[in-house]
Amino acid sequence: MPASQDNARPTMNRRGMLRMTGAAAVVGIGTAAAAAAPARASGGLVHPGMLHTQADFDRMAAKVKAGTAPYKAGYAVLAANSHAQSTWKPNPLAKVIRGGDGTNVGTLYHDVHAAYQNALRWKVTGDKAHADAARDILNAWSAKLTSVDGNADRFIAAGLHGYQFANAAEIMRGYPGFELARFQRMLVDVFYKESSDFLAHHNGAYVTNYWGSWDLLSIACVLATGILCDDRAKIDEAVTYFRTGKGNGSVKHLIPHIHPGGLGQWVEVGRDQGHTTLGVGLAGAIAEMAWNQGIDLYGYDDSRLLKGFEYVAKWNLGHDVPYTSWTWNYGAPGVWSGSQTLTAPSPDSRGQLRPIWESIYNHYVNRRGLDAPYVTEYAAKVRPEGGGGNYGEGGGFDQLGFGTLAFTRPKAIVAAGTPVPSKSATADTGTPKAGDASGGTRAQGGRGDDLAATGAGGVAAVAATGVLAIAGGVIALRRRGARDNG
């Protein structure tokens, strides 16, 4: 078995946190010099500035109008989706439940995706009927929703659909009649509250009990909330956890081994490929949202994420990958505990198609000029990407999708000298860096069934569940042009 390098120390590579200093670094359209400067709020945040900037929307609109491939095909998939129709009517709930009796989370995620898809269609076509539909969905939910509940899966609902909802709201920011302030309050009080609490306390379990995807969906929600609410402390909370958190979703635990040749072993690949690729999609979304706010998580720790993305893509494309045994420690203090050592990759759901690869491919290959051969191959396999409603129920709504339309970009390499180092996500404002919201345990508060739900989609109790694992193969990540500064 090939030797591996462990990198568990939460030290920060001095090149890791970057702040882009020009719109060319943020959007990369045509040539770097031609990119339009994004709008910045008084606090220095970019709006729109989550998964998409205004320059991204301008590119999409121009390319679709011109009938340019592959944008035309990407938009056609969007336009044909039932959720992307301006006739969609919202069905808001006061309480959303995921896991246990009364589960109704599907009602939420169908409306979330309808809001996002209609907002995207408006930005591409200018048709206000779609803007009105998106606005009305967002307003209906912010007027009614008060909680997300259920067993431990409530954290999945809060994280996934909180960050997705925030992205729809960010697109609609400033549109006539959109109740932004009310939506921001709902996002903080209902979604962010659960996600931040999960990162801080892990539902009363040992910090290692939950898989990496649980942390990532919570990080995504915290980060998106910070951007929508112009709250730099929340942005820093998410970025700090991603870099140095104690759970399985912080980047050095998410990718615990770097193999010779530069392939990064993904922590969840031994479990199954459905949750592994869920994590890839979430990590890509986190990195893109951070990038659009001037923070380079894509390049953090010598592009550790790229090494992990290539590892997952290679395995799921049918190739062998290297593997170093990894031990999962699970349980809760005073309740139960155990461990399992994973020794081989899981074939479960291997080769699953999710609309997650275009953003990753276009960042590393077209924006940064790096080689990513397996990511490139996977993106081509899924192209043109669809979104919620194109991949079945449940997990088919785990990602917003439509990356062929939204993320395809001409090569416009961001020069290594363009970004400059930043001490933290808030270094340019002097805002104190938030503490590491990763630690400790907390009493379960009477929710005795919570720890049994350790995965999306009805995974059985950890104590009774057999866990699969990961396997071997080596690649080199070759850089084209200037060395990545991240």
**Which tens digits make up the pLDDT trace of 383-402?**
999 999 999 998 999 999 99
Burial degree of 349 (CB within 10 A; 0-12, 13-18, 19+): middle
Q: Find, among 387, 285, 367, the residue nearest to 78 by Cα.
A: 387
Any idea how long the chain is? 486
Query: CA-CA-CA-CA torsion for 91, 97, 98, 103, nearest 10 degrees?
Result: -80
How wide is the angle at C-alpha 108 spanned by C-alphas 355 and 204, nearest 5°?
90
**% of the chain with per-residue pLDDT over 70:** 76
Residue 334, C-beta contacts closer than 8 angstroms, at least 6 positions apart: none
Dist. CA 180–CA 135, nearest whole Å: 10
Among residues 325, 322, 367, the alpha carbon closest in space to that of 476 is found at: 322
Chain centroid offset of residue 193 CA: 18
Query: What Å distances lie between residue 409 and 44, 297, 352, 359, 373, CA to CA?
Result: 25, 19, 25, 10, 17
What tens digit of pLDDT does each residue of 306-340 get? 999 999 999 999 999 999 999 999 999 999 999 99
- Number of helices (H), then strands (E), belonging to the chain: the values are 16, 9
pLDDT at 370 over 60: yes
Tens of pLDDT, residues 273-310: 999 999 999 999 999 999 999 999 999 999 999 999 99
**Residue 168 CA, distance from chain mean position:** 14
The pLDDT value recorded for residue 269 is 96
Give the phi and the psi of residue 6 in degrees, each rounded to 5: -85, 140
Q: Cβ neighbours of residue 466 under 8 Å, at least 6 residues apart?
A: none
Residues 91 and 103: their CA atoms lie apart, in Å, by 15
Tens-place pLDDT, residues 10-30? 333 323 333 333 333 333 323
Does the pLDDT of residue 416 top 80, yes or no? no
Q: For position 31, what pLDDT does the model report?
A: 31
pLDDT of residue 414: 77
Least confident of 149-158, 263-272, 454-463: 454-463
C-alpha 215/C-alpha 327 separation (Å) is: 18
Cα 225 to Cα 184: distance, rounded to the nearest angstrom? 8
Contact 287, 223 (CB under 8 A): no
Of 215-224, 232-241, 462-471, the least confident: 462-471
Measured distance CA(9)–CA(12) in Å, rounded: 9
* Side-chain half-sphere exposure of 219, counting CA atoms within 13 A: 36
**The token pair that represents 86 in the structure block:** 């301006």
What mean pLDDT is reported for the chain? 82
- Is a pLDDT exceeding 50 seen at residue 6? no
Q: Which range, of 8-12, 185-189, 208-212, averages the lowest pLDDT?
A: 8-12
Is 370 strand, coil or helix?
strand
pLDDT, position 349 = 96
Do 153 and 447 touch, CB atoms closer than 8 A? no
Distance in angstroms (rounded) separating the CA atoms of residues 253 and 283: 13
Is a pLDDT exceeding 90 seen at residue 228?
yes
